[in-house]
Structure 1
Amino acid sequence: MDQAGDAIFYGYKVPPAPSPTLHFTRNGGSTWSQFTGVTTDMKEVEECGGFVFVLGTSSFYKTSNQGGTWISISSGLPNDTLHHLAIDSWGDLTVTTKNEGVWFSSNSGTSWQPVNDGLTNLHTRSLAIEPHDYAYVGTSSGFFRSSAPTHPIVRLSARALLEGPFDGSSGLMNTHLRTAGSLSSRFPDMVVPAGAVDSVNVELRNTVGGLDSSFMYREPAWLLADGSIRNMFDTTRTFIDYPFPIAGGGTYYIVVRHRNHLPIMSATGISVASSSTTSYDFTTGQDKAYGTNPMRLIGTKYCMYAGDGNQSAVVTAADANAAFGILNSTGYRNADINLSGIVTASDANSIFGNLNKASQVP
């Protein structure tokens, strides 16, 4: 579908037609018309960034005007059978070939470069790019993943604690939701790591105010009992990957959000560098978070304030009323402030203890 135009859909005939031909529709598939000006034994059709890309066995075209004109972008690719096309989150192209491995373009096909370091076999058979821009390639002798994303990344290793499930004596949060299977039910496609408390969202922004930020990127992650934050998509990683637009890095604010606690943000912008890991620990001091008294001290650790079950950024009577309305309910509930797996009067009491507390995150 050409999202830049009037929702044109692209397709092609397959045998018993004499040869594949490119067709389009402007009425949801009721009728189809054949394109002229492009000849290719089509294998894949993709849309991204205002272009429609058509990959064939031995040719590759793009159009930016709904097929009015077609531009060949196979120059620079090897004289070999083209197999598969994948487009990453930045709109850059990766193509696999029969005998010449993997090829990459960062300019919509104007130029190409091979990216075969580490591949022990260049006879490729399949290709996929995951949301964090790691490439996966199947070859005739095995399956490979790129050692780095197709773009610069920042790796963030952060630590934060939630007041609700936190035990000041042990210095740990409870993992009742994991033990009860609530996390597996809520996130059926994810591996829930040992020690998981709940999920959080961790955001990078380049200004204090979110609405003023020209760059904001938010990633889901697992929050573990000790406050460490782990990659949600690969639980072996103790950091979060962020695709990054500036190769040299920069200064960014870190925001941690949870579904029933008040969000917090780093007190200042933190210097980050691409392709390296930046660490930040909110739990060691009140001065680690932005604003005036943005966290609660329990024992020796600072925690995010509990009670914002409706995610209004202020703890109010409405949050308590929501808890009273579903007392004794079990499972994954926003009113379950202490994450015990059941909504009780204790959750409502936690809310009342923080009434009118507000997030300091602009």
Structure 2
Amino acid sequence: MKRRILSCTCVILIYVLTIFSSEVYSTTHTVSVMNFAFTPSNLSVTVGDTIKWQYVSGFHTTTNDGSAGTSRPSGAPSWNNQINSSNTQYRYVITVPGSYTYICLFHPSMVGNFTAVSPPFNLNLVALMEGFWDGATLIGDTVKVSLHNSVSPYNIIASEMVKLSSAGTALVFTNVPGGNYYISVRHRNSIQTWSKDPVTLTSNMTTTYNFTTSLNKAYGNNMILKEGKYTFYSGDVNQDESINLTDVLQIYNDATVFAAGYFVTDVNGDNISDLTDVLIAQNNANNFVSVLKPAI
């Protein structure tokens, strides 16, 4: 009996979460229909929203059925409904992103438009930089997180600049359709690192991608284990996608003058360029560390 109750509870919880995730961004937009005007005549909306045409006066239609003057994205359902004192409302749920133009059949000068974008999705990213991680905390620093097409040439679809913490960083990508994307992370003095495979990101949902839990979370296993976590290689201070003698010399030059502050040559994030930073880069240069990413 307890198992049966628990099973029912789980099903109900999953159902509620599904309803919540699909409705969290939904909005109803009201368009007043009166003599010779749709008000407002232009709207910016999100897939999942509802357009509600509300009768005010006159005898009209809201129509987008292929008639002259109408247009809608491929795959979007058509509509044609009278709006008058007997039929005071019509609702249309948007399922396809794109631009829509509708008219009143009785008054062709009555034209309305709305543009629909895909709802945002959330990416909860967890990542660490080798030099900035001491086994307990990560010195917070800014990284650029990019989403790439899952097929060659892997163009960047969207990017966000965020400050990482060891707890992970939540990013909200708007105007990007849900789909499969490679994730790349670029830091000012670390090796750019890509996700092993394209990651499925779903509109209205939060997806967590944690680079730190396994070596194979990175493309080509391109990370280093440090203090129990997998981290991005540090030392690419000139961002040429490899750690080599050029980087080591740049760090060494700053270390000889005791450069202090927010410098790319400060590989461990303690605001001082010194021998510690040189050694991190030297070790990675000895192993010919470079960016690994899908071949174009």
TM range (shorter): 0.5 to 0.7
In structure 1, what is the Cα distance between the partners aligned to 2:156 and 2:184?
13
Aligned equivalents of 1:227, 1:310: Cα separation in 2 = 28
Aligned-partner Cα distance in 1 for 2:212–2:194: 12
* Counterpart residue number, 1:201: 144
| Match of residue 160, structure 1, among 117, 127, 150 | 127
CA contact (8 A) 2:118 2:175 kept: yes
Matches of 2:246 and 2:138, distance apart in 1: 25
2:232 partner amino acid? M
Q: Structure 1 pair 255/361, CA: closer, same or farther in 2 (3 Å)?
A: same
What is the match of residue 76 of structure 1? 38
Partner of 1:120: none
Other-structure match for 2:217 = 288
Asked whether the equivalents of residues 157 and 277 of structure 1 are also in contact (C-alpha less than 8 Å), the reply is yes
Q: Of 338, 341, 351, which residue of structure 1 is paired with 2:271?
A: 341
Could you tell me whether the CA contact under 8 Å between 1:244 and 1:274 is conserved in 2?
A: no
Aligned residues: 195
1:351 to 263, 277, 281: 281
Q: Determine which of 278, 292, 295 is the counterpart of 1:360.
A: 292
Q: Scaled by the length of structure 2, what TM-score is found?
A: 0.59
In the alignment, structure 1 residue 213 sits paired with structure 2 residue 154: yes
1:276 and 1:270 map into 2 onto residues whose CA distance is 13
Is 1:163–1:306's contact at 8 Å kept on the other side of the alignment?
Answer: yes
2 CA distance for matches of 1:351 and 1:87? 49
Where in structure 2 are there 5+ consecutive unaligned residues? 1-35, 46-97, 102-110
CA drift of 1:324 comes to 1.8
- TM-score w.r.t. structure 1 length? 0.49
Where 1:307 maps in the other structure, the secondary structure is coil
CA RMSD of aligned residues (A): 2.9
Of 173, 178, 187, 2:138 maps to: 173
Identity of aligned residues (%): 30
The AA in structure 1 aligned to 2:123 is: L
Show the 5 A alignment for 1:206-245: 206-207=149-150, 209=152, 212-213=153-154, 216-224=157-165, 226=166, 228-229=168-169, 239-245=170-176
**Cross-structure match for 2:240:** 312
> Is the partner of 2:259 in helix, strand or coil?
coil
Q: Which residue of 2 aligns with 1:252?
A: 181
**Higher relative contact order, structure no. (Cα contacts within 8 Å, ≥ 6 residues apart):** 2
Q: SS state of the match for residue 161, structure 2?
A: strand
What is the CA distance between 1:76 and its match in structure 2? 2.9
Consecutive unaligned residues of structure 1, counting only runs of 5 or more, are 1-73, 80-84, 89-105, 115-148, 175-196, 230-238
Q: Which has the higher helix share?
A: 2
Distance 1:150 1:288, change over 3 A: same
Structure 1 counterpart of 2:19: none
Q: Which amino acid aligns with 1:243?
A: T
Query: Given the superposition, is the C-alpha separation of residues 78 and 319 from structure 1 closer, same or farther in structure 2, using an over 3 Å criterion?
Result: closer
- Secondary structure of the residue aligned to 1:348 is helix
Name the CA shift for 1:338/1:113 in 2 (closer, same or farther; >3 Å): same
Checking the alignment, whether the CA contact within 8 Å between 1:263 and 1:361 is kept in structure 2 is no
Q: How far off is 1:322 after superposition?
A: 1.1
Separation of aligned partners in 1, 2:43 and 2:248:
48
What displacement does 1:320 show? 1.2
